[in-house]
Amino acid sequence: MTAKTIMIQGTGSSVGKSLMVTALCRIFRQDGYNVAPFKAQNMSLNSYVTADGAEIGRSQVAQAEAAGVEPTADMNPILLKPEVDYRSQLIVHGKPVGRLESKNFNKRKESLWDAVTGSLDRLREEYDVVVIEGAGSPAEINLRKGDIVNMEVALYANAPVALVGDIDKGGVFASLYGTMMLLAQNERELVFGTIINKFRGDADILRPGLVQLDELTGVPVLGIVPYFRDIYIPEEDSPSSKNTRDDETALIDIAVIALPHISNFDEFDPLTREPGVNLRYVRSAAELGKPDLVILPGTKTTIPDLLAIKEAGIVGQVKELAAEGTSVIGICGGYQMLGETIFDPAKVESSEEQVDGLGLLPVFTVFDHHKETHQVAGTITTDRGLLEDAAGLPFTGYEIHMGATATEANLSEGVSTLERRTQPDVEIVDGVANSDGWVVGTYVHGLFLNDELRRQIIANLARRKGLSMRIEGGQAAFSQDGEYDKLAELVRSSLDMEKIYQVMGFGR
């Protein structure tokens, strides 16, 4: 069996390629097809761990969820995780294999093309349909020589290509036309239509422009997809207004430190759907204020990001807030920052061999070249402070980190472990809470995705302020599966699906 394919490319980054692929995955699934997403190369700090321990981009996980299939490394065979402006960690088939520097970007095809084609071939053998996503723009002419993610993939798979443009940014007609004109003739022949995304207003105003665009490009406009605010699909690139909730009447104020290389920030999104909770991302000391909870999130580069927030004055302010009683949670890299000291003798992360942490937890971290990637499940063991009445609650999550963190010998009196997990037959204590339980740290991503645990934390924050908040409710009615259905309904009603099926060779 060789799957039918369709590819979504765009005029640039953040124009809506991932959302279109997610919607099409759900539409094809609704129509009875066994479908898989594919993106040859992803550059993102938002990643996820598959059941077999492979690390892939978060957007392909969402697309697999929409398709109703288990995510695998073949859906995103190459993942680049930026470390500095000119270098990224290189992950191939879910495992780190080294670093890729920007000066070698056009040479990557020599060593990585087989990984791309091998993964795509396997997916095409297993599924009825593969929906392929490009990256950035196919018209980046300076990068054409080393292309392994846009038109080279389309040509390899002989995949019909739909080109997406973002009208909300302005200049959508020029972007779509210009992109087409910068493609080679054999590449243009694969483009069967364009999509105008994020439109607000009366579509009749666009009609004259659509006619001219059809004539200029030689392909039809497949549809106009409206701008929406009421559908939640996990973000990939960086926190946006969709990841915040700014409500001055909220009872609980939570501040997430927006680290320069923040990762996996979508794990905090469930907090925005809880009534009475305000969630905001803080990029300077002046923005921090006096929240009820400070979250130090994950990061790809713990030491450089720690030094950056020290220089910005954020570290000093967080320490002052903690001394005054504000609760603090550190996750993954944030957990490492909360400790006494971070050691990097092999200079895995930076040129600094030793850096002082915030000193809010009696732990130290040592970096080496080994990377931990696991899905985890466990139970909360501590029962004080932020986690009062949470002991025994089950949780699931995942780990993605370099380095190991340990407590001081025999644990200081009054310090308790945060949670216990099993992996797969080994019981591991993973995380620490301070003596009063209001500062906690853990390597486990995804704790706030656990409804009962999340609501208990919110209730404890409220109780500390002398308030009462119901633990139940909140997003009980929220269904991620339902969000995929809503997205599919919007896109299906906006696009010429008959045309799409026709060019894919379904004969509809």
* Domain assignment present for 47: no
Q: Judge if 194 and 331 occupy the same domain.
A: no
Of 250, 305, 303, nearest to 272 by C-alpha is 250
Label residues 242-261 b or e (16+ Cβ within 10 Å = b): ebbbeeeebbbbbbbbbbbb
Catalytic residue set: 332, 445
Q: Judge if 292 and 171 occupy the same domain.
A: no
Q: Judge if 247 and 222 occupy the same domain.
A: no
> Distance between CA atoms of 227 and 166, rounded to whole angstroms?
10
Residue 11: give the domain boundaries. Answer: 4-39+106-232+482-503
CA 497 to chain centre: 28
Label residues 351-368 b or e (16+ Cβ within 10 Å = b): eeeebebbebbbbbbbbe
> Distance between CA atoms of 282 and 294, rounded to whole angstroms?
10
* Domain assignment present for 77: no
Q: What is the pLDDT along the chain (508 residues), one digit of tens a residue?
A: 699 999 999 999 999 999 999 999 999 999 999 999 999 999 988 899 999 999 999 999 999 999 999 999 999 999 999 887 778 899 999 999 988 887 777 778 888 999 999 999 999 999 999 999 999 999 998 888 889 999 999 999 999 999 999 999 899 999 999 999 999 999 999 999 999 999 998 888 899 999 999 999 999 999 999 999 889 998 766 555 455 666 667 899 999 999 999 998 899 999 998 888 999 999 999 999 999 999 999 998 999 999 999 999 999 999 999 999 999 999 999 999 999 999 988 888 778 889 999 999 999 998 888 888 889 888 998 899 999 999 999 999 999 888 888 876 433 433 445 554 545 554 556 788 999 999 999 999 999 999 999 999 999 999 998 887 765 544 446 789 999 999 999 999 999 999 999 999 996 5
Q: Judge if 407 and 366 occupy the same domain.
A: yes
Q: Judge if 345 and 273 occupy the same domain.
A: yes
Q: Judge if 316 and 171 occupy the same domain.
A: no
Structural domain count, the chain = 2
Q: Judge if 183 and 254 occupy the same domain.
A: no
* Domain assignment present for 49: no
Q: 386 near 454, Cβ under 8 Å?
A: no
* Domain assignment present for 74: no
Q: Judge if 281 and 399 occupy the same domain.
A: yes
Give the CATH number for residue 184. Answer: 3.40.50.300
Q: Judge if 165 and 248 occupy the same domain.
A: no
Give the CATH number for residue 373. Answer: 3.40.50.880
* Domain assignment present for 127: yes
Q: Judge if 158 and 297 occupy the same domain.
A: no
* Domain assignment present for 96: no
> Distance between CA atoms of 161 and 193, rounded to whole angstroms?
7
- Residue in the structure block whose two tokens are 């066994």: 34
Q: Judge if 331 and 391 occupy the same domain.
A: yes
Query: Which residues lie below 8 Å from residue 181, measured CB to CB, with a gap of 6+?
Result: none
Q: Judge if 291 and 186 occupy the same domain.
A: no
> Distance between CA atoms of 73 and 184, rounded to whole angstroms?
31
* Domain assignment present for 79: no
* Domain assignment present for 100: no
